[in-house]
A = this chain, B = another copy of it.
């Protein structure tokens, strides 16, 4: 669960309903599925959640922030399986990620909030903190495991390692997102295999350089 940081928890007054929070996020996802981002309204979410509109606005500044929180949790389902080789692990994650992007709630929401974030610095930060940066763990975890297996050398220069991890992350995430949402072509086992081969070969060569 994302902590929306109540830095000074108020001590008086009726406490906020914890149940409402989850009901609202669930209702938001349902509304995304049924209506999509652009037709989703705060009123509709409130109605579905059995909650007053004011309760929504008391907790979230607007549609953008609400949707980010609603879908963020879905991304935490991604995990790196241990299939014995880096290539197999990457292919599996690629397929998982593509499957997540095919779900109607993420499909319609992700690009929309990214689009909004281009004019809203706070929203961009929220997206990065809640969604994007969290998934870098997969890259780091994959590298560590590959190094343990001896598939990749242990890097000495930490800065370079971090820069490379960022590059890999942009390539994987970008390519899969583009394939699914822009090209609208399927990410199947074959594509995953071909893409992973390209990535790992390029990466290996870069590492040895």
Residues in A lying within 8 Å of B, measured CB to CB: 36-38, 104, 107-112, 114-116, 118-119, 124, 127-128, 132, 163-164, 166-167, 169-171, 173-179, 181-185, 191, 194-195, 197-203, 205-206, 209
Contact = CB atoms under 8 A, between A and B. Distances in A.
Contacts of A164: 194
A167 B115 contact: no
A113 to B, nearest CB: 8
B191 A197 contact: no
Contact of A111 (B115, B167, B200, B205): B115
Contact of A173 (B166, B182, B197): B182
**Copies of this protein, total:** 4
Contacts of A115: 37-38, 108-112, 114-115
Contacts of A107: 118
Contact of A118 (B116, B176, B181, B185): B181
B119 A108 contact: yes
A3 B201 CA distance: 42
Nearest to A112: B115
B197 A118 contact: no
Contact of A202 (B37, B111, B128, B201): B201
Given A195-B171, A201-B205, A206-B194, A36 B118 contact: yes
Contacts of A118: 36, 104, 107-108, 111, 181
Contacts of A200: 202
5 tightest A-B contacts by CB?
A: A202-B202, A174-B178, A174-B174, A111-B115, A198-B202
Most buried by B among A107, A176, A177: A177
Nearest to A200: B202
